[in-house]
Structure 1
Amino acid sequence: MSALRPSQALRLWHDATLALVRAEEPDLTARQMTVLLTVYLEAPPHTVRGLAAKLGVTKAVITRALDTLGRHGLLTRKRDPKDMRNVLVQRTVEGALFLERFGDLVVDKAKEVVG
């Protein structure tokens, strides 16, 4: 596939997020989706402190995102048994399936945009 033009990239982003909003999937904010993708695409371990540093936000911001993602079953949290001050963020089967469906959706929309 050749490189997308900016207008095509924006159309792809629009079409993919529109399809996600219309689907019976959780309607995540950009920040929540970024946290989710970071946990699934980058090697663990993931901590609240580490995610906050990576995204350039406070731990409270990450905690709010994790609260929502946890309610949807997309991620879980637990105390690090080696250092009880740290909270580990863990993947779930539901989260992996959600992102697999989203990835498939993006591929389908990319085919439509490119064409």
Structure 2
Amino acid sequence: MTINLRPSQALRLWQQVTLSEVRDDAPDLTMRQAAILLTVYLDPPPHTVRGLAARLNVTKPVITRALDSMGALKLVSRHRDERDKRNVLVRRTVEGALYVERLGDVIIAKAKELPI
């Protein structure tokens, strides 16, 4: 499926989705947190703090701070890698999966509202 949007339409869609999220009672994620969350849920596991830092081109402490906030919201969880104790695995949660699924539904609904 190919979707062709002009830049103004793409920006309008992004605006409508973000407005919907701000107005809703959903967790208010930063762009970095959203990028981490989508990476964890859309890319195949395993995910590590080190791997996420490399993927987002930021330091491990930056990822750790974001994961602290996201963990408090139960969107992800962290566990020591039993095979390599130096690694911290980032895992999906039921709450996080529901959040991502709902976000996808919001994007689809808002895209359908775009003027042609």
* TM-fit CA distance, 1:2: 4.0
Partner of 2:92: 91
Does 2:17 correspond to 1:10? no
Structure 1 SS opposite 2:85:
strand
- Distance in 1 between the 2:114 and 2:8 partners? 10
* TM-fit CA distance, 1:113: 1.1
Q: What is the CA deviation profile of residues 58-86 of structure 1, one whole-angstrom value per residue up to 9, with x for unaligned ones?
A: 00000011001100000000000000000
Letter of the 1:106 counterpart? I
Runs of 4+ aligned residues of structure 1 deviating over 3 Å after TM superposition are none
Partner of 2:69: 68
Number of residue pairs matched?
Answer: 115
So what's the TM-score if we normalise by structure 2? 0.96
- Distance in 1 between the 2:22 and 2:60 partners? 27
- Distance in 1 between the 2:92 and 2:56 partners? 18
Q: 1:82 to 1:105 in 2, by over 3 A?
A: same
Letter of the 1:77 counterpart? R
- Distance in 2 between the 1:96 and 1:4 partners? 27
Letter of the 1:73 counterpart? K
Structure 1 SS opposite 2:88:
strand
The unaligned stretches of length 5 or more in structure 2 are none
Q: 1:56 to 1:2 in 2, by over 3 A?
A: closer
Q: What is the RMSD computed on CA atoms of the aligned residues?
A: 0.9
The unaligned stretches of length 5 or more in structure 1 are none
Identical amino acids, percent of aligned pairs: 63
- Distance in 1 between the 2:5 and 2:104 partners? 17
Structure richer in strand, relative to its length: 1
